[in-house]
Structure 1
Amino acid sequence: MKRRAIQMPMQILLALIGLYAAVCVLVHFMQPRLVFHPHAELEADPTDAGLPFEDLTLTAEDGTSIHAWFIPGEGEGGGAGLFGVFCHGNAGNLSHRLDTMKILRGLGIDMLYFDYRGYGRSGGKPTEEGTAMDARAAYRWLTLEKGAKPDRVVAWGRSLGGAVAARLADEQTVAALVLETAFTSIPDIGQRMYPFLPVRLLASTRMATLEHLRRVRVPVLIAHGQADETVPYDMGRTLFEAAHEPKTFLELAGGHNDFFLVMGEDYAVAVERFLESIPR
């Protein structure tokens, strides 16, 4: 009877170990679904926000078609004379960035917005290497087709797009780098979200923003808020401390997805001030 009582807890322990191992395996192989949340249907286009645009289909180096919108800047704002590659976050698609497009157009910067593979009308499925190729396709179009000088191109990343933009700035010649609500890496933020799992061992998707940022030698703007409910504020501070001079930190108000709406004119003024400081 005593031996049977000992066996029961052992069986439960082995079952729990097996369940934990199964969860680890599941997390490892489901990483693309955990990281990327694409939305296929475009719910609007820039004309719905009164914005002029060019509707484009770019081709990544592996042949994947990438959908993009080019929106020229308006007036002589602080971004006049600059071009930008905007790398959005992990959810939605281009049609969910119209408010941002209106704000940045008003700053004078000519911006190319693109959807990662698997998002909106872009082909393929999203992966870490895929997003890097997609950003390079956008950069090539700006520099080769639109005639933008590389040292006039700003790599602009928001949330997950911060990792994409930081890698682009690390690999290509750019004028500046903007990181808004960005994380330091997928393993770092994954470990925060799932502290009971060995995320650093399981992660095959790295998106190492911090690693790329350390090699960037152009003006950098890091924007993060203490009320960010998705990416911890201290990650923004870590990125800022790692960045080389000249660098600027913008303290955001509002949450992860609405800070530019909550801040309104204060956001536009702060970003414009940074753009004005970029050497032409």
Structure 2
Amino acid sequence: MKRWSIFASTTAVIALLAGGCSSLDEHQREWIFQPSDRSWGNTADQTAGMEQVWIDFRSSLTGEPARLHGLWLGNKPESADTPVLLYLHGARYNVNGSAPRIRRMHELGFSVLAIDYRGFGKSTKGLPSEDTAREDARAAWTWLAARHPQQRRYIFGHSLGGAIGIDLAASVKDESGVIVEGTFTSISDVVSSFKWGWLPFEPFITQPFDALAKVKDIGAPLLVVHGALDNLIRPELGRKLYDAATDPKMFVLVKGGSHHSTNTVGGTEYRAAVEQLFSVKAPDPAAPQQQATPGATPPRAAAMRPYDAGRQI
């Protein structure tokens, strides 16, 4: 919360006192992404068993080669029935810092590809922007689709990653479902929810991340998860995002969940929602895994009835 208050006041001062638009843009990108090579906890333990992945492409924005570093945590054995998920993390920490949440999504039945945007971790250096993050997510999605063309593919985004994921889902047509956690409607709405939110920031925002305008264009089932105790991205923003989406969709408010703990505290709710909305069932650790019949068609989540688990708000 403190960091976003600093961002808000800094943006106002720059907008009113400084001259250069490029300087304002750079400050916003720095405060929104807080790019780094930092992660918390014992990284070696967190990422044990995960495969290092490299995704190379040529940026249409710069015309230069770009490289993304990622982590892959697959299911064994993997079949045409195994769903795969693109994991898009939030600000500040690199992909290794998301390892616990990656494992929890894996435990729900997904094979997971998680990436660092340019500017984070071992990916190509540079100050990220909304445009470069959008391009990075699309490159990772293309990579995932090329290697798992027969499997259902899902998009997951936490916080800022949720806005990036919604942007991606609105522009592609081959996703089977989208999950966002602790995600906002727009940067403008986030700033407005803070102490200095009464100031006229919107005309000076260069990185809008307007997920609210794009969520209606998602053509797959959408799961919006939010912690009831999230003081950074308030639950009302998650609910507003859900309300703007088209069916089928589900909103889950996790009691006791904060911006960083919802995925842990809400494990039971997550499991039930993923199974009901997407027909993805978490594997039973005690049951032997069986190879699915090649070419079998998995159930379509879009055929399920819309369900709203978030009537608490």
In the alignment, what sits opposite 2:263?
Answer: 260
**Bigger shift: 115-124 or 52-61?**
52-61
The structure with the largest alpha-carbon Rg is 1
* CA distance in structure 1 between the aligned counterparts of 2:13 and 2:247, rounded to whole angstroms: 49
Matched letter for residue 209 of structure 2: M
Q: Give the % identical residues.
A: 26
Change beyond 3 A, Cα 1:136–1:31: same
- Contact 1:163/1:183 (CA < 8 Å) preserved in 2? yes
Q: Over residues 157-214 of structure 1, what are the superposed CA-to-partner deviations in whole Å (9 max), with x where a residue is unaligned?
A: 1100111100110111211111111100112212223324321100010111111111
Residue 108 of structure 1, CA deviation:
1.8
Which of 22, 39, 42 in structure 1 is aligned with 2:36? Answer: 39
Residue 18 of structure 1, CA deviation:
9.1
Matched letter for residue 223 of structure 1: V
- Contact 1:45/1:95 (CA < 8 Å) preserved in 2? no
Matched letter for residue 252 of structure 2: L
- Contact 1:24/1:202 (CA < 8 Å) preserved in 2? no
Residue 31 of structure 1, CA deviation:
0.5
Divergent runs of 4+, >4 A: 17-20, 23-29, 41-47
In the alignment, what sits opposite 2:134?
Answer: 132
In the alignment, what sits opposite 1:10?
Answer: none
* CA distance in structure 1 between the aligned counterparts of 2:188 and 2:40, rounded to whole angstroms: 32
Alignment of 1:92-107 (within 5 A): 92-107=93-108
The question of 1:89 aligning with 2:90 is answered: yes
Higher helix share: 1
- Contact 1:87/1:161 (CA < 8 Å) preserved in 2? yes
Residue 132 of structure 1, CA deviation:
0.6
In the alignment, what sits opposite 2:232?
Answer: 230
TM-score (norm 1): 0.83
Q: Matched residue pairs, number?
A: 260
Residue 27 of structure 1, CA deviation:
5.3
Which of 39, 55, 62 in structure 2 is aligned with 1:58? Answer: 55
Matched letter for residue 255 of structure 1: S
Change beyond 3 A, Cα 1:147–1:29: closer
In the alignment, what sits opposite 2:286?
Answer: none
Matched letter for residue 142 of structure 2: R
TM-score (norm 2): 0.74
Residue 19 of structure 1, CA deviation:
9.0
